Amino acid sequence: MNNFRLIMAPMAGVTDSFFRALVWEYGAEFTVSEMVSAKSIVYANKNTFRLMENNNIRPWAVQFFGHEPEILAEAIKRLEGFPFDIADINMGCPMPKIVKNGEGAALMANPSLAGKMIEAAVKASDRPVTVKIRKGFAGTANCVEIARIAQESGASAVAVHGRTREQYYSGAADWGAISAVKAALKIPVIGNGDIFTPEDAVSRLKESGCDGVMIARGALGNPWIFRRTQAFMETGVLPPPPAFAEIIETAVRHLHMVATSAENASGHGGHAPRIFEMRKHLGWYTKGMPGSAEVRRRLNNAQSAEEMEEILREIKI
């Protein structure tokens, strides 16, 4: 994540190879995979490797989660010839099934283990290792402590989501906590939380002193946020939002990127075919359009890419 100002945040179930290719085209300087289980890599789980497809978009990071330093190290070694640029460690996921297993945000409550995880990754990796953390847990907002441990353990950069584990993705992100991490470290710090507009990105960069920002929900159905933010940074002039026609054409193109993927014909691992995963994306693209609730209902019942495209092209404003 070094030297990148505009980064697409990793999002489970969202930042697959198709979506990352799209935001990269629209100006994301760096992208991160959905989080992948270190243990699943060691056991060669084929569904895990699907999460690491990339469509030749560089630079990018693979984000690992786990709680065993030796397993994390082995997973990284097994990907030695795999084409990615940074190994990122997830220490921020708030989901109960992850935290209960001592992974994700749970590592922030175990500073000693967090340090061992990072040290093991750095020793095993021939690429830079970065860490994504949260503010901490309610009552123990120890992001500065964990960030310092990350730096001392050899991490090349730290990304901070300014919410506690208990907040999940609600409430306001605490950019004061993110600024405190930046002030405490010498390595690059990336801020994450509540970046929904180009103005948000520029103001947060300025007030926090961070080296870059991660955009998450602000990019859903809105890959243009990167292009518009880049232009705003360079010129001070805010470009207009995309026209209706561009939104529809991009949604259709995204749809067909997924529909024509090799795996779509047979689905993957017994799960729903990939085309059905586009329903949520198309809902985001069409949010706020006339009759959007009915459009979403129809999209959720659609059984093919052709049917979905027909629904999109019927929208009029």
Report the distance separating Cα 120 and Cα 89, nearest Å: 11
Mention every residue, 6+ apart, whose C-beta is less than 8 A from residue 137: 105, 108, 109, 164, 165, 166
In the numeric block, which tokens belong to residue 57? 């978009």
The DSSP code sequence of 251-280 is HHHHHHHHHTSGGGGT-BTTBPPHHHHHHH
What lies within 8 Å, CB to CB, of 190 at 6+ separation is 1, 7, 157, 158, 159, 160, 210, 211, 212, 213, 214
60, 149, 178, 271 from 135: Cα distances, Å: 24, 14, 8, 34
From the candidates 1, 32, 62, 93, which is the catalytic residue?
A: 93
Question: Could you tell me what percentage of the chain is helix, strand and coil, using 3-state DSSP and rounding each to the nearest 5?
Answer: 50, 15, 35
Nearest to 130 by CA among 183, 188, 195: 188
Strand partners, 133: 91, 160
Contact 133, 143 (CB under 8 A): yes
Which helix or strand (DSSP H or E) is residue 65 part of?
strand 60-65
Spatial separation of the C-alpha atoms in residues 204 and 134, rounded to whole Å? 17
Decide if 93 is catalytic: yes
Closest by CA position to 295, among listed 264, 272, 316, 273: 316
Quote the CA–CA distance of 38 and 52 in Å, as a whole number: 12
Could you list the active site residues?
93
